[in-house]
Amino acid sequence: DVQLSNRVNSIKPSPTLAVTNRAAELRAAGQNIIGLGAGEPDFDTPAHIKQAAIDAINSGFTKYTAVDGTPALKKAIIAKFERDNGLKYEANQILVSCGGKQSFFNLSLALINPGDEVIIPAPYWVSYPDMVLVSDGKPVIVTTTQEQRFKISPQQLEAAITPRTRLVVLNSPSNPTGVAYTLEELAALGEVLRRHPDVLIATDDMYEHILFGDKPFCNILNACPDLYERTIVLNGVSKAYSMTGWRIGYAAGPAKLIGAMKKVQSQSTSNPTSISQVASQAALEGDQECVKEMVKAFKERHDYVVSALNEIEGVECIPADGTFYAFPSFQKVIDARPEFADDIALAEYLLTEAGVALVPGSAFGAPGNLRLSFATSMDVLKDAIGRIAKALNS
Ligand code: PLP
């Protein structure tokens, strides 16, 4: 029997990928399953982006690149930060990685010593706590409620900070809740962070472009430009341009930290795929109309899903500000029906009885909720919510 490391034993496989796999298994066994578990847009990657990659292959751009990304892509990223976020960076402050996931992994390994604490507001993206654990750090989970629209308050943040705190993670708009912090809310959190100069901030802006309202996107640096020296901005092309399979994410921050993250990457994957880098450059520099079209579709689906879920007895779903997720509470259903011990049992029931795959809220540190991804067609969504309603009424 192989003895595995304590490190690997401290983490679990990604639960969102597990749901997707389980749905695929049932489907292979002949069941009619609607998968609303996956965290990826259903659209094809826009044609001009694919063409740039095809041209890159044909012109022989198929070798190693600089570990931290091609100068041309880094230039496009610097221009993007200036254009979209009003942020200025030099090339040595940018690291291109194999997806946003690797960006955070690099950060975690470059920053954390054993026992260092990382504040993660819940509900959180499933991977943050595990990546902190793999780095021998201690995730400090701060629970938020639906009543506070799943946003951490300045008081909660203050109370969670200790002398061991190294990093606070903010993700807005959020996976899984879809809620976004306002500029004022971020300013209030920044007020707390100013009192703790040793704490770094990671702002995960992966869903920046998938916003439904009229207000422009903002992150903590827009609210508190003075935190620039201790903030790492994480972003990528996966969600905005429907490029999840291309595996390109990027980080921007203090040159010393970015350099350390680059060193980690140089001993793991080296550069991200050369071809994907060319495609990502085309995405960032090209016409942004494709993003608007996808966001329009997500908004229509969001409006339908939220109102349809709220019509099911015992289900409460707050409207999201962005992303392609709804995060309804099924707590009243769970409380009323003893056969559902928790959200995991309920998700299992909906998978086997309704044939709808949703991710249990527990995976995101929020038991009682389920995450529904509406990155699929209206017809499929109507079918899925009809099935959920029917299964719960039976
Ligand atoms: N950050 C958040 C909040 C996410 O939801 C995801 C993907 O699900 C990522 C980062 C990582 O994206 P990727 O590694 O696919 O670029």
Residue whose structure tokens are 């304590």: 6
Whole-number CA gyration radius for the chain: 21
Does the pLDDT of residue 88 top 80, yes or no?
A: yes
Compute the average pLDDT of residues 185-192.
Answer: 98
Does the pLDDT of residue 394 top 90, yes or no?
A: no
Q: How confident is the model at residue 279, as a pLDDT?
A: 98
Q: How confident is the model at residue 16, as a pLDDT?
A: 73
Does the pLDDT of residue 38 top 90, yes or no?
A: no
The answer to whether the CB of 358 falls within 8 A of the CB of 372 is yes
Compute the average pLDDT of residues 123-135.
Answer: 96
Domains of the chain (ranges plus CATH)?
Answer: 6-44+290-393 (3.90.1150.10), 60-285 (3.40.640.10)
Compute the average pLDDT of residues 37-62.
Answer: 96
Selection from 174, 244, 178, 202 nearest residue 17 by Cα: 244
Pocket probe for ligand 1: among 20, 239, 327, the residue whose CB has the most ligand atoms within 8 Å is: 239
Beta bridge partners of 35: 357
Distance 2 CA to ligand 1 centre (A): 32
Distance 336 CA to ligand 1 centre (A): 35
Q: How far apart are the first and last CA of the chain?
A: 47
Residue type, 91: A
Residue whose structure tokens are 């972003």: 235
Distance 87 CA to ligand 1 centre (A): 21
| Residue ID of nearest Cα to ligand 1 atom 8 | 39
Q: How confident is the model at residue 237, as a pLDDT?
A: 98
Q: How confident is the model at residue 306, as a pLDDT?
A: 98
ipTM score of complex? 0.99
Q: How confident is the model at residue 21 (pLDDT cuts 50, 70, 90)?
A: confident
Q: Which residues contact 280 (CB under 8 A, 6 or more apart)?
A: 49, 73, 76, 96, 237, 241, 243, 246, 248
Structure confidence by residue, pLDDT tens digits, 270-294:
999 999 999 999 999 999 999 999 9
| Residue ID of nearest Cα to ligand 1 atom 1 | 206
Pocket probe for ligand 1: among 16, 125, 371, the residue whose CB has the most ligand atoms within 8 Å is: 125
